[in-house]
Chain A
Amino acid sequence: MEWLIAIVIGVMTASGIYLVLRARTFPVVLGLTLLSYAVNVFLFVMGRLQIGQAAIIDPSAPGYTDPLPQALVLTAIVIAFGMTAFLIVLALKARSELGNDHVDGMSYVAEEEAAKQHKAEQS
């Protein structure tokens, strides 16, 4: 089971990093989402893998699972959720203001080139 979880985390992280390095904002948002999924699973596993165990200590229970990573994951999920929502809005804002969804706002570069040409023509 450990190797399965490890592969899942690895593949998700690798895909996330690949997508973050893309040039358009939408794949970047998806990449960050995948990265946060990977990190959530990773945090969860850090309490070690247990099956069918309670998180609350009970004298009659045969054992228990570490409750702290679960609390950490809950916090991380909420934060990642909010941040992703913010990023999507920002990406849309950038799309409307910069004229395209390139992360560097290509239209700006094109505009500067045009201004330079305009100036060269004048002089």
Chain B
Amino acid sequence: MNSIWPALPVLLPLLGAILTLFARLGGLQWQRAVNLTLTAALVILTSQTLLVAGTNEHQVYLLGNWLAPFGIVLVLDQLSALMVLLTAVLALFSLLYAITQATDERGEHFHVLYQLQLFGLNGAFMTGDLFNLFVFFEVLLLASYGLLLHGGGRLRTKGGLHYVVINLVGSSLFLFAVGTLYGILGTLNIADLAAKMADVSADDQGIVVAASYLLLVVFGIKAAMFPLYLWLPGAYAHTSAAVAALFAIMTKVGLYAIVRVHGTLFAEKAGALESVHIDLLLWIGILTLILAAFGVFAGRGLKEQAAFLVLASVATLLIGVGLNTPQALSASLYYLIHSTLIGASLFLLADLIARGRGSYADRLRVAPPMANAILLGSVFLFSAIAITGMPPLSGFFGKILILDAALGHELQVWVFSAVLIASLLMMIAMARSGSTLFYQVSSDTHNDGTALNPAALVVVIALLLLSPALVITAGPVTGLTEQIAAQFTNCEGYINAVLGQTAVTGK
């Protein structure tokens, strides 16, 4: 069905970025107001988009009215609609935190970069063209370089340099993969690629598989999967809290790209090439999860631990995707919503704690007692329960759903042991961090920390409260994720919707 809906969530942040740039004339207060209004508007728009996508049809927008596969298409289905909504909600909370803690005062153009980041993210979620995906990746990366380095600082520069270099290598590999696929299949439209997979001759199959593994490496760098995750802790732990929180969605972009591109290309239509990447994905997920749990254990600071917890959530999602059933995909999507929001809240909370501890920051060392330790400690306990997947919060339900989907899989023993052992390790590590931060205080009462910012705390608590909300609404949410998984698994529908799209005729 031809519609304007796929283009709107991409257009709004693009126009928003330009508007925010002009708002600079009025000063920072104006930029804040404009950015906040635009992000709130994006939340409303994307929730409307999800409702529209719920009509169970693929909505296609032909850019410049050029027919697929010749032109570029934007495709809205329920999966992409869910992702843009999640991005917008996360962006709203991160922005509120950034404003309450005045993160944006530490450098220029924070708000402009913020909108451009959203533009890149939404574009990557909506596009139906592989090369266009590359372009949107570059847009979101360039904005993320700016945001990551915003405010400056030596550790931030060092972490940022690693992040930029590895992503530039990733971009080169992406182009190699795109070129190879174009050389063999003669198209770059994802739906058209999927349709042509069946016709790949036996001689060319190896090349297509090589290209798909190259793409897996590229998306793996974004998703931070083993062994390509080494950039993540340094980059995430040293950037500002609001940016780290927003970046909780960035790893999920890589995961989404794997699901979208590999899931569509190597569906049952691909014949001999069906699911060539799946076994690899599952093993990588298991390995990443174990290493991430060790990382949480070894983390010297709370922010570093939060970065490894983000990694653990990505690993769990990789396992969910690697199980390769609609049920597992649905479970993964539930866990994705949970882990993005709660992982982000942990970065914000770590920042609040670090400010309260002054020069000791978030390092896990014995420090003088901080102000409002009981209040912050309670919030920390709550978020630790949510992120490690203990009952009764949403992390528990997400993990149960994924483990339930793993029942009967040939690698179920491995999946169960990895998920459960990793959860145990993370739980012990978080318990140790909590006791170091809040119980083992030194007798020296001189604390050079700043007073707790109540507005920032309210933002963090509001974000955390989404976890019980996810539990209470577990019925409708899993209903939605099941619907999404069912729609996604029906690749035929996607291909027909894109390739069967007729151009709009003028008068």
Q: What residues make up the interface of B, taking CB atoms closer than 8 Å to A?
A: 131, 135, 138, 142, 145, 149, 152, 154-155, 157-158, 160-162, 164-165, 168-169, 171-172, 175-176, 178-180, 182-183
Contacts and interface: CB of A to CB of B under 8 A. Distances in A.
A82 interface: yes
B165 A72 contact: no
B161 A25 contact: yes
Interface size class of A (residues with CB under 8 A): 20 to 34
B158 A87 contact: no
Contacts of A105: 154, 157-158
A42 B174 CA distance: 12
Question: Closest 4 interchain pairs by CB?
Answer: A46-B183, A39-B175, A35-B172, A43-B179
B57 to A, nearest CB: 30
Contacts of A79: 135, 138, 171
B146 to A, nearest CB: 9
Given A83-B171, A86-B142, A91 B155 contact: no
Given A39-B176, A94-B161, A108-B158, A46 B182 contact: yes
A75 B131 contact: yes
A6 interface: no
21 contacts: A38-B172, A39-B172, A69-B182, A72-B182, A76-B175, A79-B135, A86-B145, A90-B145, A90-B149, A91-B161, A94-B157, A94-B158, A94-B161, A98-B154, A98-B157, A103-B162, A103-B165, A104-B158, A105-B154, A108-B154, A108-B155
Nearest to B154: A97
A25 B160 CA distance: 13
Given A43-B178, A94-B161, 12 more contacts: A32-B165, A36-B172, A39-B172, A43-B179, A46-B182, A68-B182, A72-B131, A75-B131, A86-B145, A90-B149, A97-B152, A108-B158
Q: Which of A16, A38, A105 has the most CB of B within 10 A?
A: A105
A116 interface: no
Interface of A: 16, 20, 25, 28, 32, 35-36, 38-39, 42-43, 46-47, 68-69, 72, 75-76, 79-80, 82-83, 86-87, 90-91, 93-94, 97-98, 103-105, 108
A97 B159 CA distance: 13
A47 B152 CA distance: 44
Contacts of B171: 79-80, 83
A25 B154 CA distance: 15
A97 to B, nearest CB: 5
B182 A98 contact: no
Given A36-B172, A43-B175, A98-B157, A87 B164 contact: yes
Nearest to A32: B168
B154 A90 contact: no
